């Protein structure tokens, strides 16, 4: 499949590095990355920086880097499209050019230590196709920790696939995994879910997440909430199904209420209030029926949604077959 002799040509590892307002971090980050990757002179590295419409001098810093280091590639977005799309653009670039055997995605604020990415490379060389960094500790505010915990708790219960906890987008992916990811074209992207959806051999690597070196987070609360929503809505139609369950519960309640009203009317006529039975039971029964009907619509909507996402139906890891071989490869 490869056109080069694997024993002679070095294997190629590309870093995909999203940048948004990181002018104070880029030089320090790149120096740390170069220092860490220098430990593997046998590999051929490329550093793909994607500037996600930064408002500061990040782009100038990147162009300076490229002038000094030809392994640096700079991609500039026309405006801020968000972290997930910046990473996607980098992955697409690498997948389209077919220029890497593995891709590492990491943040450029030094929260993801470059030396950890070298451990990932070692695991990849042992045959693991996705090595994701799992936080053993995180130096975030108690608020961020609590919201992250709550988010993963909900996601665990609702998502149709297992998405590992305390895992960001810091990971190494084999080229075949990257090629698969580029077939997922949904607009509202939750990359760590897509990677989990793709499959292959995936393993965690524990690490301690550092504090942001300089600048401030590009994920304020509003962005965090919409990101959490893409994760849950992108991988689950459970919220839609909840409507009908709620409707059934209310309908059941209205039946119980009707029995109670009937009981009062027959056995304690002196306690019954005229008109109350009709209003009370009617109200609950109608809203119950309405919710059940909305749930039915929701079930169809859920199917439309899944079809609209248009994800690949499956991913082949291997095909072993004798028949129908490529005619050109024969004698």
109 lines the binding site for Mg ion (CB under 5 A): yes
Largest CA distance in the chain: 99
Please report how close the Cβ of residue 109 comes to Mg ion at its closest, in angstroms: 4
**What's the residue count for the chain?**
331
Q: What does the alpha-carbon distance between residue 77 and residue 54 come to, in Å, rounded to a whole number?
A: 9
Q: What does the alpha-carbon distance between residue 241 and residue 237 come to, in Å, rounded to a whole number?
A: 7
What strand order describes the sheet that includes 130-138? Answer: 72-76, 44-51, 12-19, 102-105, 167-174, 130-138, 202-209
Q: Give the residue nearest to ligand UDP (CB).
A: 218
Tell me the per-residue interface mask from 175 to 214 with ligand UDP, x by CB under 6 A, - otherwise: -------------------------------------x--
52 lines the binding site for ligand UDP (CB under 6 A): yes
Q: From the list 13, 14, 19, 72, which residue makes contact with ligand UDP (rule: CB under 6 A)?
A: 19
For residue 49, what are the β-bridge partners?
17, 74
20 vs 190, which CB is nearer to ligand UDP?
20
Please report how close the Cβ of residue 238 comes to ligand UDP at its closest, in angstroms: 26
Please report how close the Cβ of residue 166 comes to ligand UDP at its closest, in angstroms: 12
CA angle (87, 90, 94) in 5-degree steps? 140
111 lines the binding site for ligand UDP (CB under 6 A): yes
18 lines the binding site for ligand UDP (CB under 6 A): yes
Task: Measure CA 207 to chain center.
Answer: 19
Query: Total binding residues for ligand UDP by CB under 6 A?
Result: 17
Asked if 13 contacts 45 with a C-beta cutoff of 8 angstroms, the reply is yes
Residue numbers at the binding site for ligand UDP (CB under 6 A): 18-20, 22, 52, 80, 82-83, 86, 107-109, 111, 212, 217-219
């Amino acid at each position: 499949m490869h056109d080069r002799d694997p024993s002679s040509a070095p294997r190629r590892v590309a870093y995909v590095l999203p940048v948004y307002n990181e002018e104070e971090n880029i030089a320090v980050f790149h120096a740390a990355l170069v220092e860490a990757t220098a430990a593997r002179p046998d590999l051929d590295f490329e550093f793909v920086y994607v500037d996600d419409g930064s408002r500061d001098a990040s782009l100038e810093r990147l162009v300076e880097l490229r002038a000094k280091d030809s392994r640096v590639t700079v991609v500039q977005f026309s405006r801020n499209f968000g972290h997930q799309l910046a990473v996607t653009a980098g992955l697409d670039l690498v997948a389209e050019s077919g220029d890497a055997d593995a891709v590492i995605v990491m943040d450029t604020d030094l929260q993801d230590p470059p030396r950890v990415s070298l451990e990932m490379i070692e695991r990849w060389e042992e045959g693991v196709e996705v090595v994701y960094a799992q936080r053993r500790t995180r130096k975030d505010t108690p608020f961020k920790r609590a919201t992250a915990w709550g988010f993963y708790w909900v996601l665990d219960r609702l998502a149709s696939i297992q998405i590992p906890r305390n895992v960001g987008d810091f990971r190494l992916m084999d080229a075949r995994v990257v090629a698969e990811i580029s077939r997922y074209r949904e607009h509202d992207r939750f990359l760590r879910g897509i990677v989990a959806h793709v499959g292959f051999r995936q393993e965690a690597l524990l690490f301690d997440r550092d504090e942001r070196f300089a600048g401030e987070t590009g994920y304020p609360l509003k962005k965090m909430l919409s990101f959490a929503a893409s994760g849950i809505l992108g991988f689950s139609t459970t919220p839609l199904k909840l409507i009908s369950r709620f409707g059934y519960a209310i309908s059941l309640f209205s039946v119980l209420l009707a029995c109670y009203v009937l009981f009062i009317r027959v056995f304690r006529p002196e306690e019954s209030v005229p008109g109350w039975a009709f209003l009370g039971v009617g109200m609950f029964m109608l809203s119950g029926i309405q919710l059940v009907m909305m749930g039915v619509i929701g079930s169809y909507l859920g199917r439309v949604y899944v079809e609209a996402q248009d994800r690949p139906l499956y991913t082949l890891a291997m095909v072993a077959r004798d028949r129908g071989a490529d005619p050109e490869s024969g004698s």
